[in-house]
Amino acid sequence: MKNLLCLLYVFLVLALICCSSWTVWSNSSCKLINIKEVRPHSVSITEFGAVGDWITLNTKAFQNAIFYLKLYADKGGAKLFVPAGRWFTGSFDLISHLTLLLDKDAVILGSTNPGDWPVVDPPPSYGRGRELPGGWHRSLIYGCNLTDVIITGNNGTIDGQRSIWWSKFRNKTLDHTGPI
């Protein structure tokens, strides 16, 4: 009987995951939402000149798109759509009231050039970088004190290429701590 209840519970959880999207809000509780109804305004990253060819650096396109979408933060927010392709980029900031939606076969691919990742001061609780004293490279997708942010999609991928950073760390070629 206990196994049957556990199996039923697992089935119900899987059914909810398959049929719904989950969002973590700033108070750390999850709520079911319909992604299509959340944001009244939507743009594609291609509208800002991004090219999903794995070669073109799209950092400015992501930054410009998100800067533009900031206009809609107090109007129900906005959605940035990333279509299928390999979108090579450095670090970029998110904003509140934003949905980052990755299409099937969309890959946001982090640059391997440390110059494409801004160096920031470590949080006071860390005191210094982990590998080296001083600041560290900011993460690929960054946000601070944000509310109502959704990162979702149809099996898209966010790949910060951390293995490249570990290789640089092992070879002692990093000037700052790698992205967190």
Query: In this predicted structure, what is the pLDDT of residue 12?
Result: 46
Residue 23's nearest CA partner among 140, 147, 107 is 147
Q: In what order do the strands lie in the sheet with 78-82?
A: 41-44, 78-82, 98-102, 149-153
35/145: higher pLDDT: 145
- 106-130 pLDDT, tens digit per residue, is 999 999 888 887 888 776 665 554 5
> Does 160 have pLDDT greater than 90?
no
How many whole angstroms separate alpha carbon 33 and alpha carbon 148?
12
Query: In this predicted structure, what is the pLDDT of residue 113?
Result: 86
Residue the block writes with tokens 């951390």 = 162
Cβ burial 36-75 (10 Å sphere, 16+ → b, else e) = eebbeeebebbebebbbeeeeebbebbbbbbeebeebeee
Q: 40-170 architecture in CATH?
A: 3 Solenoid (2.160)
Query: In this predicted structure, what is the pLDDT of residue 35?
Result: 53
Structure tokens at 77: 């927010």
Residue the block writes with tokens 């640059």 = 111
Mean pLDDT of the chain: 79
18/104: higher pLDDT: 104
Give the residue extent of every domain in the chain. 1-33, 40-170
Give CA separation, 147 vs 21, 100, 119, in Å: 17, 13, 24
Task: Answer whether 170's CB lies under 8 Å from 131's CB.
Answer: no
Under the banding of pLDDT at 50, 70 and 90, the label for residue 70 is very high
> Does 19 have pLDDT greater than 50?
no
